[in-house]
Amino acid sequence: MNKAISVLVIDDERNLVRSIGFSLRDEGMLVSGAYTGNEGIEQAKILSPDVVLLDLGLPDISGIKVLVQLRAQHPDLPVIMISAHGDTRSAVKAVKEGAIDYITKPFDIEELILLIRRSTERIRMLREIRFLREKNTETGPLVGSSPEMTALRDAIERVGQSSGKTVLITGPSGTGKALVARALHDVRFTDAPFIEVNCAALPEQLIEAELFGAERGAYTGANQRRAGLIDLADGGTLFLDEIGEIPLHLQAKLLSFLENRNYRPVGAGRERQANVFVVAATNCNLKANVEAGTFRADLFYRLNVLPVDIPGLSERDRDVTLLVAHFSELFAQQEHCEPIELDEAVLNVLEKYDWPGNIRELKNLMERLTILYPGQSITVDMLPTEFHEGFRVAPTVKDDYRESVEDHERQLILDALKESDWRKGLAAEKLGISRHALKRRIQRLDLENEE
């Protein structure tokens, strides 16, 4: 249920305050009155209203002085000035001092209601943008010196500086697609909104309203106009993560928006426009989804104008040591302890590990080790069980048992390859490992000539 808008009216005309109160309460708003400037300042401290209607001419102090004090105490508080007929110059001065708008007596109550709703909606949007910006400052740098990372940084720089309006980021889960999206945004903009949308997390019945916005009464429960995330991203970047999960029935509307940046909120009578840099990301094979009929081909080609592919961690294992150093420092600061240290044997294990969860898995491992062994030197025995397998063989294990394990592994890989018509990417998915890891196993088990 939406919270009712609370309004504080500061005006010495008691009948006017009473009349405004009746009209606004009919709209479901909460209304309080104050009849002097000083009383209004005190009431604002106590009530923390969503919006203030402030008369320019008050008996004790000027409305401008009240405005200045209100803005100092409540920087985000929207203040609408009420000016007498012919006093437009003072009203304009008030706007320069921070008032969000003004209205002149005598005014139409419907105009005032619309002004209040617009003001509160604008402040809500600004607060949400600030929240999302602060949330997305916890991204960190793109760590790595491998050729793959160098190529990725070059791609980010070229694409970010281009005039292209749509980018598609691909790569396995956990590789840092949100980081790359933010890096693209930072190359292109210095001070603009970055709005992140997880398409998989939005309820299917609400995703259209979340993206495009909705007018009042557009659906059950829509008691007031709702600004969409596209509206919030206007002038900046809209990051559509997990784009492959967007419902098929909305893909046509998204395609239309990408074509000309025009969109229509749910229940709206006319289109609006937003100047938005769209960055989409996915860890699935969109081409396969197109063939399966779950993703529109025209939308895929529109998104794939500027592709940026992120390699899995197993494809750039030389970066593991740098990432370990980065995360050990990061989590030491968070836990207020000395960084953990990893000996050569541990680094050797980590560099040879397949990393099915990619950087996210490495980050989680470093956080776990820092919490369990703060400031200590980490040995192989301290690593979770999955990191021991394949790197240490107990002396009691007989050669025939090892051969039996290898035979079983060989058969599993052969079965997956045959079922996938020898397409290694699809076989790797069936086995739950990366394509790079499958390639190493094929070489180790001498399966290149089995096809």
Q: H or E segment at 290? A: helix 286-292
Q: Are strands 101-104 and 79-83 parallel, antiparallel or unpaired?
A: parallel
pLDDT in the model for residue 159: 92
Pick the CATH number of 399-444 from 1.10.10, 3.40.50, 2.60.40, 1.10.3470: 1.10.10
pLDDT in the model for residue 138: 40
pTM above 0.85, yes or no: no
Q: H or E segment at 250? A: helix 248-260
pLDDT in the model for residue 137: 42
CATH number of the domain located at residue range(s) 315-387 in this protein: 1.10.8.60
pLDDT in the model for residue 184: 94
How many Å apart are CA 437 and CA 72, to the nearest integer?
60
Q: H or E segment at 321? A: helix 320-335
How many Å apart are CA 93 and CA 139, to the nearest integer?
41
**Domain extents for the chain?**
6-123, 147-309, 315-387, 399-444
Task: Give tens-digit pLDDT for 326-346.
Answer: 899 889 988 889 999 988 888
**Are 172 and 180 in contact, with CB atoms under 8 Å apart?**
no
Tell me the angle at which helices 435-444 and 424-431 cross, rounded to the nearest 10 degrees: 100
The residue written with tokens 């499958």 in the block is 438
Pick the CATH number of 147-309 from 3.40.50.10800, 3.40.50.300, 3.40.309.10, 3.30.70.360: 3.40.50.300
pLDDT in the model for residue 200: 83
CATH class of 6-123: alpha beta
Structure tokens, 324: 């370990």
Structure tokens, 20: 């405004």
How many Å apart are CA 25 and CA 31, to the nearest integer?
7
| pLDDT < 50: residue spans in the chain | 1, 132-140, 390-398, 400-402
pLDDT in the model for residue 432: 65
The residue written with tokens 């699935």 in the block is 284
Q: What's the distance, CA 260 to chain centroid?
A: 23
pLDDT in the model for residue 393: 38
Give the end-to-end CA distance of the chain in Å, rounded to a whole number: 62
Residues 6 or more apart whose CB falls under 8 angstroms from that of 335 comprise 370, 371, 374
Angle at Cα 416 formed by Cα 410 and Cα 422, nearest 5°? 105
Q: Check if 147-309 and 315-387 are the same fold.
A: no
Q: How many CB atoms lie within 10 A of CB 80?
A: 22
Q: H or E segment at 444? A: helix 435-444
Q: How many CB atoms lie within 10 A of CB 263?
A: 22
The residue written with tokens 């890891």 in the block is 437
